[in-house]
Structure 1
């Protein structure tokens, strides 16, 4: 086998190894556009993991602080609170949506306008403690629009 074939085999093996590690997929990522001076917004998406995992951390350069949040009814009052992690059960879609689990982008550095593309980084950990970093691009949608419009 000549050197070119060896290099091509090594590259192919690396690509397969990277593909095999992709345990988590993200779809329909979007961020709610803001009005001038607004300092917070939500990010929403669908996350699916091949194996049991959990979302540990979320980052975005557009915000000073990024948190995973949960909204729920308690004593007839809708309450929102930050949570440390979000479980991603194997084979199930976990939907981050308004009024439920979502990502809060706080201390925004600038207005997020309709059509902006917002980079978001998710850090997911499997039961084996291996971490996967997922870079996504979430499109900003108007305040009165949801992901399905």
Structure 2
């Protein structure tokens, strides 16, 4: 898989990124590919924030994977910097070929480069295959996560 490039996302990548976000039962129910303005505004906020890295995996000039890495300075754990991996997606044509592992390994290395002492992520309770994947990569399911949906501002 030597032809893989992991790079910062650019606005032109948005259609491919949104398509990957929507390409599963959970994403299909919560994404709106027909509303590109929502994603453009979000991309602009992400791009303007130095603690965010929206990564794109590209192979042969085609976007085949993505994740978002957020750096969070904190007081807990003696002031440990942590990173959060979010929205990991792999194009259907690449699944089962090791790209997810490469993306997570890149994110862990980038976390170290950013001075993080802890890498964390959440995964929807129904994504049991993803849970096995993250455990295989050394992640421990040590916490229970909670979310509160807030009404749309639209």
Both proteins in one fold, TM over 0.5: no
Which has a greater percent of helix? 2
Tell which structure's C-alpha radius of gyration is larger.
Answer: 1
Q: Which has the higher contact order (CA 8 A, sep 6+)?
A: 1
TM-score (norm 1): 0.28
More strand per residue: 1
* TM-score for both structures, normalised by structure 2: 0.27
